[in-house]
Amino acid sequence: MPTKTVPAKLHRAQTRTQPASAASGGRRSLVDKAYREIRQRILDNVYPSGHRALEQEYADQLGLSRTPVREALLKLASEGLVEVLPRHGARVLPVSPDDMRDIYDMLTAIEPMAAELVARKKLPPADLKPLIDASRDMSAALKNDDLDAWALADERYHRLLIALAGNRLLAETVQGLWDRAHRARMVTLRLRPRPVNSTREHNAIVDAIRAGDATEAARLYRSHRERGSKELLALLEKARISSL
Amino acid sequence: MPTKTVPAKLHRAQTRTQPASAASGGRRSLVDKAYREIRQRILDNVYPSGHRALEQEYADQLGLSRTPVREALLKLASEGLVEVLPRHGARVLPVSPDDMRDIYDMLTAIEPMAAELVARKKLPPADLKPLIDASRDMSAALKNDDLDAWALADERYHRLLIALAGNRLLAETVQGLWDRAHRARMVTLRLRPRPVNSTREHNAIVDAIRAGDATEAARLYRSHRERGSKELLALLEKARISSL
DNA sequence: GCGCACATTAACGTATACATTAACGCATCC
DNA sequence: GGATGCGTTAATGTATACGTTAATGTGCGC
């Protein structure tokens, strides 16, 4: 295969926890079903960037009427994953390098704050164990050359840390940003050198948190994020990827 | 395959900035009408914190059917202004001091980043003039003991600065946070001592931006935000306000 | 061929109809 | 008295119907 193309199936992104009745089996609303399904198809590149379809077409594909599909699309639009073009359907929003810069600027602002908040809480070490586990899984995945597993563990690490900050608003915002950047991360994952520094940086952040040094935790997280951001943007530039 | 031309209009229903179509009068959709109207009533305390009504009741009050009202309520829910309680209508979300802390932690993370981005752009001084004007209006309002005018100018200053950062995502996020905090700000406005420091701090931030000193701009904005945040939270505590 | 008025189409935005089910009252049972 | 089961009610979630209007096609004058 001479041309490098986006893998048809990017790794399955973890589905966000939805309110309430998720535990009670498959009793979710059709809006929720449509939302999850379409979101997953976007993240998995089943609906690739730029994919466009009418409300009725999405409805047909999911075996639903327009109403719940429409609500789901509006929600996805509010999260920046699709764009509703009246009379032209809804299309999966491409993510340009400029968009990625915006997203990473936001993450660079918010995630260090999360680390800072966690550090200030002086949590018992046991609460930080999942973070350390995630870091260890990243190392292990790297050793096995399993980049998908690495990406999953990386995402888990960041999600755990965000959750520990105890600010729901922050967690939701960051998750939305990660969603938007998901496809680009998955693509660059295989274009970049092996991410050997991340584990060390992650551990350093945990150490600062454990020491209760909020300023240092924030500083480390910020430089971690800035380095990642710079690398990713450089890759997109180098590969002349104008949108994903 | 001939590509269909898709009008590249961005139809994001921007809350405050209703562009261009102002000329065409009231051509907005009913969803948008419902959204704006309900949002305004919440911000103006016409629907006070905790106010609850059924979808049909909102629809009756606005003279619309349930469909556009429902979509508007879902949007407001996604912005954190209301909460949809199945079978119990939608209620205006109270904002607790904890919520305010979360909101201000987010603002403390994001707004300094905005100042940083603006400073890095090395804009021509003319572009910063509106900021300075807003600052001046704040001073004037304070001299006239017109706290409402002061609050408006303060909001204008922050909105302008956010806009100059050139990151739409950031601007929308911050605006959403300001919306959530709006009522609390309005209440504390009259409980607190006259905000005499803000103007000086605002001007210092502009100076740092003009000097292209991104780090200093961010630092100043952060301490400005932290001071404001601390004052506001202390006031809520002191007044034993458990929710707004 | 070209441009324009007008008819046609199709997708959406909105209204309405309908099915589902949580919430409530009430009678019954212990 | 209090708990429990059951029928009723009502609000929602979803489907469908309908009017509007942007987009497209058509015919005509030139």
Tens digits of per-residue pLDDT, A183-212? 999 999 998 888 888 888 999 999 999 999
Whether the beta carbon of B89 falls within 7 A of nucleic chain D: the reply is: yes
Share of residues in chain B with pLDDT > 70 (%): 89
Nearest CA in chain A to B6: A88
Q: CA triplet B244, B197, B147: central angle to 5 degrees?
A: 50
The distance of A26 to chain B (nearest Cα, Å) reads 18
Q: Does A28 touch chain B (CB under 8 A)?
A: no
Whether A109 sits inside 8 A of B108 (CB atoms) is no
The nearest alpha carbon in chain B to A167 belongs to B102
Q: How do residues B70-102 score in pLDDT, each as one tens digit?
A: 999 999 999 999 999 999 999 999 999 999 999
Instruction: Tell me how far apart the alpha carbons of residues A71 and A54 are, in angstroms, rounded to a whole number.
Output: 13
Q: What is the pTM of this model?
A: 0.87
* Contact list, B118 vs chain A (CB under 8 Å): none
Rounded to a whole number, what is the distance in angstroms from the first to the last CA of chain B? 57
B98 touches chain A (CB under 8 A): no
- Condensed to tens digits (0 to 9), the pLDDT of residues B92-136 reads 999 999 999 999 999 999 999 999 999 999 999 999 999 999 999
CA distance, residue B146 to nearest chain A CA (Å) = 33
Which positions 4-63 on chain B have a beta carbon less than 7 angstroms from any atom of strand D?
4, 7, 54-56
CA dihedral sign of residues B35, B40, B43, B46: negative
- Extract the tokens encoding A190: 């295989």
Task: Give contacts of A102 with chain B, Cβ < 8 Å.
Answer: 167-170
From the Cβ of A87, is strand D under 7 Å away?
Answer: yes
Is the pLDDT at B151 greater than 80? The verdict is: yes
CB atoms within 10 A of CB B88: 11
Q: How far apart are CA A189 and CA A192, in angstroms?
A: 6
- pLDDT > 90 in chain A, percent: 80
